[in-house]
Structure 1
Amino acid sequence: MGATRNAALEAWMTEHGHSANSLADVANRAVEQLTGRTGGYDGSSVRAWKSGRVRWPNEVTRKALEIVTGLPATELGFVPRGRAQSTPAPQQEDDMKRRTLVGGIAVAAAAAAAPGTAPRRIGMSDVDRLQARFTEIIASDHKRGGQPDIEQRAAALADEALNLQRAGSATQRVRSNLYAAAAAFRSSAMWAAIDGRRYDDAQRHMREAQALAEMSGDQAIKFRIWSHAGSMYRHMGRPADAFAANDVARNLHITRRDPMFASLGLARQAAIHGAAQDRNGTRRAFDQAQDAMDRAAPDAYRPVWLLAFYDEAELHSLALSAYLALGDYPTAEAHAHRCLSSLRPHMVRSRAITQTRLAHAQLAQGDADAAINTAMTVPATAATQHARVSRMLQEFGAALRATAPGSSTAHTWTEHTAAWRTSA
């Protein structure tokens, strides 16, 4: 009888955007904190865990994975020798454990900083626990992007990372990683504010994130912050500032080391060209972004935030935004369909945005029936609670009433939006 695949570990990796190589990398760092020596895991090690060939890893491996995930080995689908496969714990219990984990970090920091107590040693295990919280912020963003509670949680975790800096002694490597974690959380708060159209808050988070990233020296998080800044200025209707910010991201060394970063920078450059009404620039940047993505090594180590969202679907989403801004509606529609066909299931927010933009492209081509059918697939929660989606749907309704006033199509849309407001 063949080995049973470890569905729990696979689900955790999918939810948190880990490839086999990236999970091996963070597990190796956790082993270093436990033993003083870097672990020897690679992608094949993780594939052995996923396939069920290794049902109960050794103690060091189990402890390393617990540091990385915040979960005991049994909840990651591993089965102790001589014991039958256990029933997974309820989701409520998982949530409680994660809340306990984050609370424990805060309590430990406060205790270490309290007068009269000896400072404790802060290590990479503390950083790894924070990183586990970061993956939860990323997951929340892709499900319910733009919500104030996501922004607040991310900002609070940034402060928690900084509190650890003051809670005890640490090596320079650990301190740099804590600054990088704080910058990552602050950049997520920034993105949540951008996505919710709270631009003053976004700029405040941006300034703090940039300072933290400089102290960390982390190229990937610097890229994320400046790339977010380019998107923010594009949404604010300031293409010159958007180009300047995105150029900072694109000129970082990491874009030369990893074509996937170069691809994202170019894809966002294409969207800015679209907002600036530069058709040739849009086409050129999009083609370069596609070429860079094609050259990127599929299993290279990349941060969780990049793995979780940037792929072929996001590339076409940015092209859709660009061509919609240019008024090239057939091309925009083609990119929308390519995006929707390859979106991963966890990209709930991105799907709603793409459906809304597709509806605009179809309406602008005179196909009102197809347009409202597309718009009606947007979930009520996104339609009423996501600031960007809500605004685009309001603009869609206004355009529909302008092109087909008093029509049955317009009446159908009015009734549907009323039902949305009732159910939200």
Structure 2
Amino acid sequence: MAVNAVLKQRMLDLGLTQEELARQMNAALLRITGSPGDVSDRTVRNLLSGATRRPIARTRRALEAVFGCPLRELGFDLPGTTASPEDPVERRQFIAAGPALVLVSAAPVAGAPRRVGASDVERLHRRFADVITKDHRHGGQLVIEHKAAALADEALSLQASGNASQRIRRQVYSSAAAFRSSAMWAAIDGRRFDDAVRHMHAAQQLAEMAGDPYIKFRIWSHAGTMYRHMGRPADAAAVNEVARKLGITRQDPMFASLGLARKGAIHGVAGDGTATRRAFEQAQDAMLRADPDDHRPVWMNAFYDQAELDSLALSAYLALGDFERAEAHGHRCLAALRPHMHRSKAIATARVARAQLEQGDVDPAVASAMSVPADAATRHPRVVGMLHAFGVRLKAVAPESTLAHTWDQYARETWRQPA
């Protein structure tokens, strides 16, 4: 029984332990089949020791996906023409996987593998920046979610299309994780929480494979927001703490600030006013300590600034019923928002309208609500929900007022109609 020296060297090249290889193979099987893998440390030991010379189809596909090369280049014997007892089952599983299997495993089997390099990574970065731009303009749309998920699959197919250095492979995995986290965010923003959870699990696995703390922060921080919107503040606080404990929050106060601001928003949903105020004070202090010239990921630079901090405070104080403080943060947010933040402007405006209404300022509240752009008011699920709740509350506060009738007419003619 000869040790598989080729596989051992491949693992050393990628810095993989037996446990890490098993985890990556299981992640690959989840992507390929849609079901979790069952590869264990013992499976990997058998592959390394030579006890397993001809892996079954399921194991073979996972190995090819992780290493991005055919089985013959990993020191194994090619499967014979006689199928093992498990082959028919495996064949049905992989045929059922359809296009996903093609993306992951077809490229390395045919022809000489290409070299995956920095230009490929740069192209992925440009496409990610485009996803971010579309998200800030439209937000929550199913087409954005599907596009981001498709780009994640494209990045993974790139892994299987040729040879690459360990550094490039990690960057490609990082890009795939980034695309999945954008799909996750679009689903959160669109109130498609089951889909968001599915994207979250895939993104977390890819981020682990990439070893990228920045994208890990984004995913766990998004998870905190997801559970907050689902009305589960305890879960939101727990996953937000995972993000806040990553080393980058100690290295860069801007990440610390975002983690604290989202912590404050979670405390608001939980009804803890003291903790909310403390978190936002700390978030503001951290932001003031941050170096504006530090190099940060494009997704961080694109959205987190003073306006976003005030937007989170607006949300928190609105949840607490501190409507005066909420409105003050809302006006600060709107004054500081960058021009490309269309979705954020619509959300903040709808929240300001609600804060004004709850203070009895019906006239400015209706004016604010009517200023929400029609495309967001009709197409963005969060904004649609906020404006519907505003209308219901307006009827309760001023049921027979002229302004209530004005709003009803406006709603019928404008934001309830397809934009």
Normalized against structure 2, the TM-score is what? 0.74
Report if the CA contact (8 A) 2:104-2:156 is conserved: no
Matched, 1:218 2:197: no
**CA deviation digits over 1:22-47, x for unaligned, max 9?**
xxxxxxxxxxxxxxxxxxxxxxxxxx
Report if the CA contact (8 A) 1:112-1:120 is conserved: no
Alignment partner, residue 333 of structure 1: 327
Alignment partner, residue 387 of structure 2: 393
SS state at 1:306 partner: helix
Q: Give the superposition deviation at 1:288.
A: 0.4
SS state at 2:365 partner: helix
In structure 2, distance between residues paired with 1:278 and 1:125: 49
Report if the CA contact (8 A) 2:139-2:380 is conserved: yes
SS state at 1:202 partner: helix
Report if the CA contact (8 A) 2:313-2:326 is conserved: yes
Supply the AA of the counterpart residue of 1:321.
Answer: S
Q: Give the superposition deviation at 1:325.
A: 0.2
Q: Give the superposition deviation at 1:423.
A: 5.5
Supply the AA of the counterpart residue of 2:299.
Answer: W
**CA deviation digits over 1:2-24, x for unaligned, max 9?**
xxxxxxxxxxxxxxxxxxxxxxx
Structure 1 residue aligned with 2:130, among 128, 133, 136? 136
SS state at 1:330 partner: helix
Supply the AA of the counterpart residue of 2:407.
Answer: W
Alignment partner, residue 360 of structure 2: 366
Alignment partner, residue 181 of structure 1: 175
Report if the CA contact (8 A) 2:177-2:215 is conserved: yes
Supply the AA of the counterpart residue of 1:255.
Answer: T
Alignment partner, residue 151 of structure 2: 157
Report if the CA contact (8 A) 2:128-2:179 is conserved: yes
**CA deviation digits over 1:226-268, x for unaligned, max 9?**
0000000000000000000000000000000100000000000
User: Which 4+ stretches in 1 moved above 3 angstroms?
Assistant: 108-114
Distance change >3 Å, CA 234–CA 142, structure 1 → 2: same
In structure 1, distance between residues paired with 2:218 and 2:297: 10
Q: Give the superposition deviation at 1:111.
A: 9.3
Structure 2 residue aligned with 1:413, among 401, 407, 413? 407
In structure 1, distance between residues paired with 2:314 and 2:107: 51
Kindly indicate whether structure 1 or structure 2 has the higher relative contact order, using CA contacts under 8 Å at least 6 residues apart: 1
Alignment partner, residue 240 of structure 2: 246
Report if the CA contact (8 A) 2:378-2:418 is conserved: no
In structure 1, distance between residues paired with 2:389 and 2:255: 33
Alignment partner, residue 303 of structure 1: 297
Alignment partner, residue 233 of structure 1: 227
Supply the AA of the counterpart residue of 1:213.
Answer: A
In structure 2, distance between residues paired with 1:423 and 1:126: 40
Structure 1 residue aligned with 2:118, among 102, 118, 124? 124
Q: Give the superposition deviation at 1:124.
A: 1.4
Alignment partner, residue 283 of structure 1: 277
In structure 1, distance between residues paired with 2:392 and 2:221: 32
Report if the CA contact (8 A) 1:267-1:289 is conserved: yes
Aligned length: 317
Supply the AA of the counterpart residue of 2:173.
Answer: Y
Structure 1 residue aligned with 2:314, among 320, 345, 355? 320
In structure 1, distance between residues paired with 2:215 and 2:332: 29
SS state at 1:252 partner: coil
Q: Give the superposition deviation at 1:113.
A: 3.9
In structure 2, distance between residues paired with 1:193 and 1:215: 23
Q: Give the superposition deviation at 1:110.
A: 9.8
Q: Give the superposition deviation at 1:109.
A: 9.8
Instruction: Provide the aligned C-alpha RMSD in A.
Output: 1.5
Q: Structure 2, unaligned stretches of length 5 or more?
A: 1-102
In structure 1, distance between residues paired with 2:222 and 2:292: 24
Q: Give the superposition deviation at 1:307.
A: 0.1
SS state at 2:293 partner: coil
**CA deviation digits over 1:272-313, x for unaligned, max 9?**
000000001000000000000000011000000000000000
In structure 2, distance between residues paired with 1:334 and 1:241: 29
Task: Kindly name which structure, 1 or 2, has the bigger radius of gyration based on alpha carbons.
Answer: 2
Supply the AA of the counterpart residue of 1:121.
Answer: R
